[in-house]
Structure 1
Amino acid sequence: MSKFDEMITVVPRTILFSDEKNQFNGFLDKNSPQGQEIFDTLQQYEVKRRGDMEEDPSYKQLVSYCLLENEHDELLIYERLSGGGESRLHGQSSIGVGGHMNEVPGADSINEVLRTNAQRELEEEVGLSQQKSQNLTYTGFINDDTNEVGEVHLGVVFKIKVNSKDVEAKETDTLKIKWVDQNKIDNYDEFETWSSLILQAL
């Protein structure tokens, strides 16, 4: 199946941002009133074909974005290589492991949909088993309406503490990973927009 035929979870922009009242650019903490209002709209998600959504800014595609921190308080950074799916992001570094979200049949809550998708991506991309991703913590949202990729996506940001020996790049043709002390990151230019916005917020 082509990635464009994948059925993904989306939320109409007018619902998500309450007719732009809650629109933001950057990282938004889950505990802020605005962050809580946006979270409450997620249960009104719809399932649509990805190819139709990629150029339709009236919907926001929900994307999991997990930050991994190891036992030395270092942050996982990976570079997207040319074998990866989103050509608009090739060559850029990222601190977020994740991807588009799919419907979770039988899920009791939006929490379960978000967590199940985030855990699946962690297993697929960096080999972190579900048993080892139980301490996944939801921290907020990332949004950037200033470019065509960001305009159609909303990042649901998670953080997880891991043991570095449990993590490896599964898709070595698309990802190259390393651990870095986040206090030593002073140049955001090599990072994709979402990552640089989160690093600045951190």
Structure 2
Amino acid sequence: MSKFDEKIIVVPREIVFNHEKNAFNGFLSKNVPMGEKIFDTLDQYEVKRRGDMEEDPAYKQLISYCLLENENGETLVYERLSGGGEERLHGQSSIGVGGHMNDVLDAQNVNEVLRVNAQRELEEEIGLSSSKTQNMEYLGFINDDTNEVGEVHLGIVFKIRVDTENVEVKETDTLKIKWMHQGRIDNYDDFETWSALILKAFN
């Protein structure tokens, strides 16, 4: 199956941003009122064909975006290589592991849908089994409507504390990883937009 035929979950922009009243750019914490309002719209998600959504700004594709921190307080940084699926992000570094979300038919609520998808991506990309991601913490959202990639995506940001030895790159043709202290990352130019925005928000 082509990646464009994948069925993904999306939320209409006018719903998730309440007709632009809750629109934002950058990182938005779950703890602020607007973050809570946006989260409350996610259970109105729809299932659509990915190829139809990639250039349709009327919908926000939900993307899991997991930050990993090891026992030394270092953050996982990875570079997207040319074998990866999203050509518009090749050569850029990122601190978020994740991807598109699919419907979870037996899920009890939207929170479970988000977490099941995030855990699947962690296992597929860096070999973290669900038993190693139980401490997944939901932080908030990342959004950037200033470019064509960001305009059609909304990131659900999680943070996980892991043991370095449990992390391995499964897709060596698409990712190259290293561990860095966030405070030592002083140049955001090499990072994809979402990661740069999060690094600035947390510094």
TM range (shorter): over 0.9
Match of 2:91 in 1: 91
Q: What's the offset of the Cα at 1:102? A: 0.1
2:170 is paired with a residue of what secondary structure? coil
- TM-score, length-normalised on structure 1? 1.00
Report how many residues are paired: 202
Match of 1:196 in 2: 196
**Which ranges of structure 2 fall in alignment gaps of 5 or more residues?**
none
Q: What's the offset of the Cα at 1:198? A: 0.1
Residues 103-182 of structure 1 aligned to structure 2 (within 5 Å): 103-182=103-182
- Partners of 1:132 and 1:82 in 2: how far apart? 29
- Partners of 1:21 and 1:3 in 2: how far apart? 33
- Partners of 1:87 and 1:184 in 2: how far apart? 28
Q: What's the offset of the Cα at 1:130? A: 0.5
Question: Could you list the runs of 4 or more consecutive aligned residues of structure 1 that deviate by over 2 angstroms after TM superposition?
Answer: none
Give the share of equivalent positions with the same residue, in percent: 76
- Partners of 1:170 and 1:197 in 2: how far apart? 26
- TM-score, length-normalised on structure 2? 0.99
- Partners of 1:124 and 1:138 in 2: how far apart? 20
**Which ranges of structure 1 fall in alignment gaps of 5 or more residues?**
none
Alpha-carbon displacement from aligned partner over 1:50-91 (angstroms, at most 9, x marks no partner): 000001000000000000000000000000000000000000
Match of 2:53 in 1: 53
Alpha-carbon displacement from aligned partner over 1:109-130 (angstroms, at most 9, x marks no partner): 0000000000000000000011
Whether 1:79 aligns to 2:79 is: yes
Q: Which amino acid aligns with 1:173?
A: D
